[in-house]
C-alpha cells in the first residue's frame, strides 16, 4: 500500500503539487488523470523518489521513502517496477538482455537462474520465442510488453507506468491495459498509472485520481466517474462526443 499525505512540491516560485492526500492499494490498478500542467508527472516522480516533497510524506507499507537509509533505499528500489512512456529499451540489446538487466544489476543469481526468470516473464507477457530479437524488430505493442516484462522481472510490490499506451493504436492499447490489470491482480501489485487515455479510465480504472492545478479535484472508480457531477471531471473526461453519449446512456439506464 502507498499512502500519500499532504504532498506539496514546487520549483522556485512555481507550486506544482498543493497538498495531495490519497492511498493506493495492492491488487488495484490506480490511474492518475488530468490536463497538461495539472501535476501528474511531478506527482508520479514524487512517488518514486525522483522528487523530494517540500511538505508531506509518501509511505510504502508504512515506510516513509524520504527517511530511508542508503541500504533501505536500495532495497526499496528493488521492490519497484517502472514502465516508461517510450518503453526505454536498450536498442543494442536483445529482448532477453533487456529483461535480464535488473537481475544483473540487483541480484547475485547465476545466469541459469536469471534466464529461468526471464523466460517466465517473457512468456507471461505473451512474447515467447522473442528472446533473441532486437527492439527494432518488434512492433510498438511488443516493445511495450518487453518493458512490462522488465518491470516485473524482479517480482515488484509496486508498479508505476507512465503513459503506457502512448503511441499505440486503440486495439493494442486495450491489450496492454488488460495485461497490466491481469498482472496487478495476479501478483497483488500496487499499480499506479499516469494516463491521458480515457479508454483506460473506463476499462481498468479501479481507482481514479483526477488532478487539477496541483490539487486532488476528484477521486473514485470507473463506475463512479459515469455518475459524478463534478464539473471539472465532466469537462475533462467527456470532452469527446463519444464519451458524452456513453455517459448519457449510462445515466438514462440507471434512471429506469
Q: CA-CA distances (angstroms) from residue 74 to 52, 68, 69, 79, 187?
A: 16, 9, 9, 9, 22
pLDDT at 246: 60
pLDDT at 201: 87
pLDDT at 184 > cutoff 60: yes
Domains and CATH numbers, the chain: 1-79+157-227 (3.40.50.300), 91-155 (no CATH)
How many whole angstroms separate alpha carbon 100 and alpha carbon 95? 8
pLDDT at 235 > cutoff 70: yes
DSSP track, the chain: -EEEEEEEEEETTEEEEEEEEEEE-TTEEEEEE--TTSSHHHHHHHHTTSS--SEEEEEETTEEGGG--HHHHHHHHHTEEEE-TT----TTS-HHHHHHHHHHHH----HHHHHHHHHHHHHHTT-TT-TT--GGGS-HHHHHHHHHHHHHTT--SEEEEESTTTT--HHHHHHHHHHHHHHHHHHT-EEEEE---HHHHHHH-SEEEEEETTEEEEEE-TTHHHH---HHHHHHHT-SHHHHHHHHHHHHHHH-
pLDDT digits (tens, 9 = 90+) for 128-170: 999 999 999 999 999 999 999 999 999 999 999 999 998 889 8
Whole-number percent of the chain with pLDDT over 70: 93
Q: Whole-model pTM above 0.85?
A: yes
pLDDT at 70: 92
pLDDT at 226: 79
How many whole angstroms separate alpha carbon 170 and alpha carbon 7? 34
Give mean pLDDT, residues 71-93: 91
End-to-end CA distance of the chain: 38
Amino acid at each position: 500500500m502507498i499512502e500519500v499525505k499532504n504532498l506539496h512540491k514546487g520549483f522556485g516560485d512555481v507550486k506544482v503539487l498543493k497538498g495531495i492526500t490519497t492511498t493506493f492499494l495492492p491488487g488495484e490498478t490506480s490511474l492518475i488523470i488530468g490536463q497538461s500542467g495539472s501535476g501528474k508527472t511531478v506527482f508520479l516522480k514524487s512517488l518514486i523518489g525522483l522528487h523530494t516533497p517540500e511538505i508531506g510524506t509518501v509511505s510504502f507499507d508504512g515506510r516513509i521513502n524520504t527517511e530511508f537509509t542508503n541500504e533501505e533505499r536500495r532495497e526499496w528500489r528493488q521492490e519497484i517496477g517502472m514502465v516508461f512512456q517510450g518503453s526505454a529499451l536498450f536498442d543494442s540489446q536483445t529482448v532477453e538482455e533487456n529483461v535480464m538487466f535488473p537481475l544483473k544489476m540487483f541480484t547475485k543469481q547465476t545466469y541459469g537462474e536469471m534466464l529461468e526468470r526471464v523466460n517466465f516473464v517473457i512468456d507471461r507477457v505473451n512474447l515467447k520465442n522473442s528472446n533473441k530479437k532486437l527492439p527494432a524488430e518488434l512492433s510498438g505493442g511488443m516493445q511495450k510488453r518487453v518493458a512490462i516484462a522488465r518491470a516485473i522481472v524482479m517480482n515488484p510490490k509496486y508498479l508505476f507506468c507512465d503513459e503506457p499506451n502512448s503511441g499505440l493504436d486503440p486495439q493494442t492499447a486495450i491489450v496492454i491495459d488488460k495485461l497490466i490489470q491481469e498482472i496487478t491482480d495476479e501478483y497483488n501489485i500496487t499499480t499506479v498509472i499516469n494516463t491521458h487515455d480515457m479508454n483506460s479510465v473506463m476499462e481498468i480504472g479501479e481507482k481514479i485520481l483526477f488532478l487539477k492545478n496541483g490539487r486532488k479535484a476528484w477521486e473514485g472508480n470507473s463506475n463512479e466517474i459515469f455518475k459524478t457531477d463534478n464539473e471539472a471531471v465532466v469537462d475533462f473526461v467527456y470532452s469527446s462526443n463519444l464519451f458524452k453519449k456513453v455517459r448519457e446512456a449510462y445515466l438514462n439506464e440507471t434512471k429506469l
